[in-house]
Amino acid sequence: MLWLRKTYRNVTRTLRLVDFRAGVALDGQKAQTFFVHVKNNAGTLQHGLFVDYNVTLAPAYADRIIGVIAPGNTYANTPTVGAGTDFLNGGGITANIFVLNTLGQTGNLHFAMAAVEYYDGNVVRPRPIPTFGSRDVNGVTILRPEIRFINDMTGADWTINTTNIPSGKSIGFRFMGALA
Amino acid sequence: MNLANAERVDRLFDVRGYGNTRSFFPYHLLYGGGAGYAIDGQKVQTFIAQIGTTGTNHWGRMHGDAWFGYPASYADKVIGAKMDGTATIIPTVGPTVDFVAGMGITGNSIVFNTADQNPAAFWGIVSMEYYDGNVARPRPQARFVSRDVNGTVRYRLEVSFTDDITGAAWNVNPTNIPTARFMEFRFMGVLA
């Protein structure tokens, strides 16, 4: 280990190696990443948030998602959210969209990507599009992160339902980005 | 500008160092790698891994990009990674077989030679950027997996592949990557 005197030049040099222990933020949006698993359990869609495809550990970087059931790696029945139906376990679906329960986001600050990491439905290949969408969920209309799915060839809506995800099958996707 | 102000202002900064290859200041001697951002002790990394086939062997190499093959400047947490563009035969790693050029193959996974990782703090994403095998479409996913490689059991970065519509394991073998064909994928994330 070299010894460094605490001079202006050395401080500016060493600060270039920075370890963020409380999270990284960009314009007030905190960096987040997690794996969302939606499965068809005997005809009922259920979802949970996890670290990864192994679906055992709770996500360490998902604190901007509201209402995730502790300890965070738990499945719950997936609600079809709407004006009179709230989120459960941090999320809900509407047609071809998975909506995440967050505070209000700012549309032009969108900084995120999504990737389907697993799909075994053997029906149609899904392609994910992360967006901030304005939607009334249980009487609250704000911009929230939404993952919109389309047919990866035709661009048609890929609806999150028990047709595209048959019984015993599932889809898993990762969100990586920044959320208010 | 005094020292206190310098510390404050420098927190709004441009982190420089280009991995461990181009820094003027010897960060690699001080910290075991070049300057860079880190999250919970895990340093920001991104690189391309290219895996191809010659006969029954798989060759591999790593790049900064999938098209022009610039060397990756943000891959210093992959131990033994080669950025000189030369392709090396990548082994099937196991309890008695070590990595070569920072990589190994096992089943449907590419294992990267890294320090021990914390599986609960995984922060990464992977995408296919090229595949010309014309057999079955691979869908990649990355995570930290505990595995014995050459007698050392620890959590390392692994990128595993499944068939993108059936979910079946997509093995890294000469069937899925026929001879003279290859695939390339990008990892972007943080590694201890």
**What are the pLDDT digits (tens) for B65-116?**
999 999 998 999 999 999 899 999 999 999 999 999 999 999 999 999 999 9
Mean pLDDT of A45-69: 97
Considering Cα of B54, then B60, then B65, then B70, what sign does the dihedral take? negative
For residue A56, the enclosing domain spans 24-179
Q: What is the CA radius of gyration of chain A?
A: 19
Do A17 and B121 count as a contact with CB atoms less than 8 A apart?
A: no
Q: Domain segments of chain B: what residues?
A: 1-36, 39-191
Residue B24 above 90 pLDDT?
A: no
CB atoms within 10 A of CB B35: 24
Residues 93-122 of A with CB under 8 A from B: 113, 115-122
- Any domain includes A16: no
Partners of B139 on chain A (C-beta within 8 Å) are 116-119
For residue A7, is it within any domain?
Answer: no
Residue A9 confidence (pLDDT): 72
Q: What Cα–Cα distance (Å) separates residue A123 from each residue in A64, B63, B89, B124, B163?
A: 33, 35, 37, 28, 13
CA–centroid distance for B137 within its chain: 21
DSSP B127: E
Smallest CA–CA distance, residue B134 to chain A, in Å, is 17
So what's the ipTM on this one? 0.87
Residue A39 has pLDDT above 80, yes or no: yes
pTM for this model (two decimals): 0.88
pLDDT tens-digit series, residues A14-35: 655 677 777 888 889 999 999 9
Domain count, chain A: 1
In what side-by-side order are the strands of the sheet with A97-100? A91-94, A97-100, A140-151, A126-137
Confidence of residue B22 (pLDDT cuts 50, 70, 90): very low
